[in-house]
Structure 1
Amino acid sequence: MTDRQHSVFVVDDDQDIRTSLTRALGQRGYAVEAFESARAFLDAYDGDRAACLVLDYGMPEMNGLELQVVLNDRDWPLAVIFVTGHGGVPESVQAMKGGAVDFLEKPFRQSDLIDRIDAALEIAEARRAAAASRQAVRGRFSRLTDREAEIVDHVLANPAEVSSKEIAGTLGISPRTVDHHRARILEKLEVRSLVELVRLADALQGDDAAGG
């Protein structure tokens, strides 16, 4: 796959559609790659580059809505525009609930598609940045030892019982040991207090819930 800005992927089992969209979008400066099936796209995409996905709804084997579910599960930085010749209201509602930018019925005006692609690329870049931020936070939590993670779990589950004495009593260790672990936890998570720790964990859980 190419590595240019303004990437657009076209996934459609209709060769004529793939050819016409690739030509038209390429003439407008987009880096376009076309695939005849959802599986072909999944085999080729690296999951890293922010892009707009122009996706046909009614494909055999794996249709567009089924591919959308896979993409959301993988938390990839893609913004989807559905195009369809035989989708109805239930399908469009499901697509939009899944985070699609729009659901266009064939035939559609290329100018309408271009407008939506530009909006989709902005959304995709925002998703890429958010995913990178989540990954960075997960990386901080992965630095914790088992005991440090146990203390963090206690703090998150019992936000009213976060003194060293209270944590020590629950875990069966000395308050001095808890103090040592707390200092290391704050350092590894790059926060200044347990309050910031709780906010960091809440933000990560909220992003994960929204992304899922």
Structure 2
Amino acid sequence: MTLPPEGNSTVFLIDDDDRIRTSLARALRKRDFAVQSFASAEDFLEAYDKGRPGCLVLDYGMPGLNGLDLQKHLAENSSAIPIIFISGHAGVPESVQAMKAGAVDFLEKPFRQTTLVACINAAFAADRAARSAEEGARTARNNFERLTAREKEIAQFMIASPSNTSSKEIGRHLNISPRTVDHHRARILEKMAIHSVAELIDLSISAALLQTNRVGENAG
């Protein structure tokens, strides 16, 4: 038994073969998947909103923009939608290229529907995880922007020098008292909605906080 997909995730199905596209869409809808079908990559790009969660079930060999071309185009436009390739003609080099570029799987036609369903469920899970991580990073960046200039300077020092995060070390580096550092540290943790310097460092990795404009020169 296959569990129904979570949330409002959609299977975006692209195949230029009307018979295969219709058959697959019907079979997936019977399994409670939301499906949107397209006859070409170009049609998909015209309609696709990358804010919509889901995955792409993509025929490799299509006229015009083929599967690998679409995969490359999406990557270049910062769309990380998981892709499952399906093909009746591609060989090993094409499948290897697709997988190296991040495809969830490369299925050769004919394939079992249960195999495709398992791939879709895995793709949905990967999409949810990626979107959750992206939202967490966005929240961290927004919270970071709430810090004062001095708080940003202290936070960035702790991120850049994780082995020197004591108040004495930070105070010595910034020429301020450890007590003042303690006050700023408490405000940093509160505004960032975290409980430790270790969490701040973890957030910096996903949210690239060190890329935020440095403002230490004007700190007060």
TM-score above 0.5: yes
SS state of the match for residue 106, structure 2? Answer: strand
- CA-CA distance at 1:59 after TM superposition: 3.4
- Residue matched to 2:83: 80
Counterpart pick for 1:142 among 145, 162, 166:
145
- Residue matched to 1:159: 162
Q: Is residue 174 of structure 1 aligned with residue 176 of structure 2?
A: yes
- Residue matched to 1:47: 50
- CA-CA distance at 1:169 after TM superposition: 4.2
Closer/same/farther in 2, CA of residues 195 and 26 from structure 1, 3 Å limit: closer
The letter for the 2-side match of 1:149 is K
Q: Deviations over 1:91-150 (max 9, x none)?
A: 212322333222112333444323433333333333333333333333332323343223
Comparing 151-160 and 134-143, the one that deviates more: 134-143
Taking the aligned partners of 2:181 and 2:49, their CA distance within structure 1 comes to 43
Contact 1:57 1:63 in 2 (8 A): yes
Q: Deviations over 1:56-105 (max 9, x none)?
A: 223345432343345456354x3321012332212212322333222112
Comparing 39-48 and 154-163, the one that deviates more: 39-48
- CA-CA distance at 1:156 after TM superposition: 1.6
SS state of the match for residue 95, structure 1? Answer: helix
Counterpart pick for 1:32 among 28, 31, 35:
35
The letter for the 2-side match of 1:174 is I
- Residue matched to 1:106: 109
The letter for the 2-side match of 1:67 is L
Taking the aligned partners of 1:15 and 1:144, their CA distance within structure 2 comes to 55
Closer/same/farther in 2, CA of residues 120 and 191 from structure 1, 3 Å limit: closer
SS state of the match for residue 82, structure 2? Answer: strand
SS state of the match for residue 54, structure 1? Answer: strand
Taking the aligned partners of 2:40 and 2:148, their CA distance within structure 1 comes to 44
- Residue matched to 1:129: 132
| Unpaired stretches in structure 2, ≥5 consecutive residues | 1-6, 209-220
Taking the aligned partners of 1:146 and 1:62, their CA distance within structure 2 comes to 49
| Unpaired stretches in structure 1, ≥5 consecutive residues | 206-212
Closer/same/farther in 2, CA of residues 134 and 71 from structure 1, 3 Å limit: farther
Q: Percent identity?
A: 54
- CA-CA distance at 1:8 after TM superposition: 1.0
Contact 1:75 1:131 in 2 (8 A): no
The letter for the 2-side match of 1:189 is M
Contact 2:159 2:201 in 1 (8 A): yes
Q: Deviations over 1:182-205 (max 9, x none)?
A: 222111112233233223324656
Q: Deviations over 1:159-197 (max 9, x none)?
A: 2322344334434x5225544432221111122332332
Taking the aligned partners of 1:134 and 1:184, their CA distance within structure 2 comes to 19
Taking the aligned partners of 1:114 and 1:191, their CA distance within structure 2 comes to 38
Taking the aligned partners of 1:160 and 1:82, their CA distance within structure 2 comes to 46
Taking the aligned partners of 1:144 and 1:80, their CA distance within structure 2 comes to 39
What is the number of equivalent residue pairs in this alignment? 200
Contact 1:55 1:80 in 2 (8 A): yes
Q: Is residue 196 of structure 1 aligned with residue 196 of structure 2?
A: no
SS state of the match for residue 53, structure 1? Answer: strand
